[in-house]
Amino acid sequence: MRIGMKLDYSGGFVEAVEELRDLERVGLDVVYVAEAYSFDAVSQLGYIAAKTERLRIASGILPIYSRTPTLMAMTAAGLDYVSGGRFTLGLGASGPQVIEGFHGLPYQAPLGRTRELVEICRKVWRREAVVHEGKHYRIPLPAEQGTGLGKPLKLINHPLRARIPVLLAAIGPKNVSLAAEIAEEWEPIFFHPGKAAEVFGPALDEGRARRDPELGELGISIGVPAAVGTDTEQALHAVRAQLALYIGGMGAKGKNFYNDLACRYGYEEEAGRTQDLYLAGRKEEAAAVLPEELVRALCLVGTEDEVAERLAAYAAAGVTTLSLQPVGPDASDRAARIALVERVAALAAG
């Protein structure tokens, strides 16, 4: 099982990258850089590539709407080139607030656009002349939509790899099925190892039935709040607060994907009460409603023995990469983060 971490540069970007070099030495395998509506992820990933040697770098995630498919392919090929073949292209649909509210683009057909975008990217990486007649993208642009002067082109440079790994973030059944069909890795949020087979299994099986064998086995990359020790009360409190924010506050009733997921896990009553309380401004009460079993299942918080047990459960559920999210009083301490990665990497290695 690989150990990853999202880049946190709240204490300074250069300082965070310097820390990555220490994390790399103690067992960190991959770093993810997010892109929402702050700085772009690509410039940061290029800088990280130059400052590290072994560490895999991944976008976590790039929205499918904000770049054309060919620019997405060029960007991925460029990052893979400057990193010496260490890049993974993490993609996701993001949401209407970012896509329409910040980019000014219609949030439409995420499934169809994702499928076509990945198909076009792989054509670019194989250095094929890009010809695509899809529902959402047409390359070259037909004469009736442009000048008629555009001709099929192929990438000038030779990419290091003809197939750069693609990671798709997904939790809805159709999105999960698509990830299992076309991606090298799948990234769900709030992954419950004891209930994942029941909740995600049918969609994964459906996608795997259409999967190209050349893609290999589907990797599963999950983010988990993490803290190892005997006094983890504050860490668990932080996990509860985060879950309450997402399950209770990320969307109106009937439009909250995370609340829907909690319901699918079997916590429909608790999810409903959490949402009612959170939307009423009673955030502490909303967090208190969440069942202890759910909170602990969705994190890696506890003693070394408890964390080792959780790691075994994740491995049994097919998880291949754990992206640690430090929580608790030491979450912002550099030495504590390094120690956390070292301890979890050691426990994961057995």
Question: Which tens digit of pLDDT belongs to each residue from 294-321?
Answer: 999 999 999 999 999 999 999 999 999 9
- The mean per-residue pLDDT over the stretch 135-139 comes to 97
Give the pLDDT of residue 208: 98
Give backbone dihedrals phi and psi of 11, rounded to 5 degrees, phi first.
Answer: -95, 10
- Local confidence band at 202 (pLDDT 50, 70, 90 cut-offs): very high
Give the pLDDT of residue 10.
87
Q: What are the residue ranges spanned by the domains of the chain? A: 2-223+304-348, 231-302
The answer on pLDDT for 124 being more than 90 is: yes
Q: Whole-angstrom Cα distance, residue 313 to residue 318?
A: 9
- DSSP string spanning 194-234? TTHHHHHHHHHHHHHHT--GGG-SPEEEEEEEEEESS--HH
Is residue 83 scored above 90 in pLDDT? yes
Q: What is the DSSP string of 257-308?
A: HHHHHHHHTT-HHHHHHHHHHHHTT-HHHHHHHS-HHHHHHTSEEE-HHHHH
Q: What's the whole-number average pLDDT of the chain? A: 96
What number is the average pLDDT over the span 168-172? 96
- Mean pLDDT of the 195-205 span: 98
Position 95 scores a pLDDT of 87
pLDDT of residue 75: 98
Q: What is the pTM of this model?
A: 0.96
Mean pLDDT for the stretch of residues 61-86: 98
Residue among 82, 167, 187 nearest 118 (CA): 167
Model confidence at 42, pLDDT cuts 50, 70, 90, reads: very high
Note the pLDDT of residue 297. Answer: 96
Indicate the CATH number for domain 2-223+304-348.
3.20.20.30
| Cβ partners under 8 Å of residue 171, min gap 6 | 188, 189, 190, 257, 258, 261
Predicted confidence at residue 97, as pLDDT, reads 84
Distance CA(147)–CA(336), nearest Å, equals 59
